[in-house]
Homo-oligomer: A and B are copies of this chain.
Amino acid sequence: MNNQPIGIFDSGVGGLTVASAVMEVMPREEIIYFGDTARVPYGTKSAETVTRFSRQIIRFLLSKNVKVIIAACNTVSAVSLKQLRKDFDIPIFGVVEPGVDSALAATKNNKVGIIGTAATIKSGAYENIMHEKNGNIEVFSQACPLFVPLAEEGWEDTLVSKLTAEKYLEPLVEKGIDSLVLGCTHYPLLYNCIKSVAGENIELVNPAKATAQCVYDYLISKNELNEEDKIKEHKFYVSDMTDKLDIICKKTLKNDFPLEKIDIERY
């Protein structure tokens, strides 16, 4: 067994949905979380910049003695993961591959939709991995840049969100998809709105849980699960202490955790 913590990072607070899934699937694991709230969002930035920011974060997490790292950010997973795995020895998990596996398990007609940030969609990462695993799958993708600010504005139940979702999703619905990957950790916050446009016949796939399961399987296979039965001291770091951060954390994690600000540019 191995009682070192699990490192999880995201461009901001969206990755807390993955942290929450890790806590549920592996309640004995300790978590070191980093959210890059000073430089959020990543989805509009170039692959080179996203990779550079991710390297700094991984160096920070390594300084905290983590045993594995989860890039709980679709953009990082889509555009930087291959390079990061070359750069560092530690096992690094992304959310794209587990998301693909969940979508392949969910679809019955082999028509899958993907929604995400501009960078994630432009990378073609979901599409490529899906085709590697199943050559018969038809993939339809759509960047939805307004979903993150709508979620952060708390407008999930407004007509503006409904019309925005229609504009983004109707072309996918018309293609006859039967499953839709929420390829950005913020999107589950708009679940009801997206579901109302997608309709009953389209299953919404959230990669967070599948990612936690994937890390669990790995740790089991390496005999590295933490078996200590004591109260966990999860730690949450951010690069900027912005408004409402504690509220969002509490809402996502169903608990109060202290947040600490660090200067990520030093790593």
Given A153-B146, A163-B159, A118 and B46 touching (CB < 8 A)? no
From residue 57 to 104 of chain A, which have CB atoms closer than 8 A to chain B? none
Which residue of chain B lies nearest to A245 when distances are taken between CB atoms in the complex? Answer: B46
- Shortest Cβ distance from residue A184 to the other chain B in the assembled complex, whole angstroms: 14
> How many residues on A have C-beta within 8 angstroms of the other chain's C-beta atoms?
32
From residue 140 to 159 of chain A, which have CB atoms closer than 8 A to chain B? 145-146, 148-150, 152-153, 155, 158-159
Q: Are B160 and A242 interface neighbours, CB within 8 A? A: no
Distance between Cα atoms of A167 and B152 in the complex (Å): 16
Copy count, this protein chain: 2
Instruction: Name which of A38, A145, A155 has the most chain B CB atoms within 10 A of its CB.
Output: A38
Contact residue among B145, B149, B241 (Cβ-Cβ distance under 8 Å from A46)? B241
A150-189 vs B, CB cutoff 8 Å, 1 = contact: the mask equals 1011010011100110010000000000000000000000
Q: Are B240 and A45 interface neighbours, CB within 8 A? A: yes
Kindly list 16 other residue pairs between chains A and B, CB separation below 8 angstroms, not including A38-B53, A160-B167.
Answer: A38-B45, A45-B242, A46-B241, A46-B242, A48-B240, A48-B241, A49-B240, A118-B243, A146-B146, A146-B149, A146-B153, A146-B155, A146-B160, A149-B149, A158-B167, A160-B160
